[in-house]
Amino acid sequence: MSRPSRPIQRTAQALAVLMGAWLVVIPMTVTSASAPAPVPTFSEFGSAKQVYVTGLAPFAPM
């Protein structure tokens, strides 16, 4: 069998590098995305017309 040409060999090497990087990066993003959400420091109570929020300063954005 003949040896692969240079462009094919370079393409195969580039593909191997990209796949290797993908195998490293993807698990890192999946584990950071599945981290638990922080517990809020406020609580809210009420109905559709009135809402009471405790633990925040007056007029603080949420």
The pLDDT score that the predictor gives to residue 57 is 85
Q: Give residue limits of the domains in the chain.
A: 6-54
The structure tokens 């809210």 sit at 44
DSSP string spanning 7-53? HHHHHHHHHHHHHHHHHHHHHHHHHHHTSPPPPPS-EEEE-SS-EEE
Each of the 62 residues of the chain gets a pLDDT tens digit; together they read: 566 678 888 888 999 988 888 888 887 776 555 667 777 777 777 777 777 777 888 888 87
- In whole angstroms, how large is the CA radius of gyration of the chain? 27
Token pair recorded at residue 32: 């950071």
pLDDT at 2: 66
Backbone angles phi, psi at 44, to 5 degrees: -130, 145
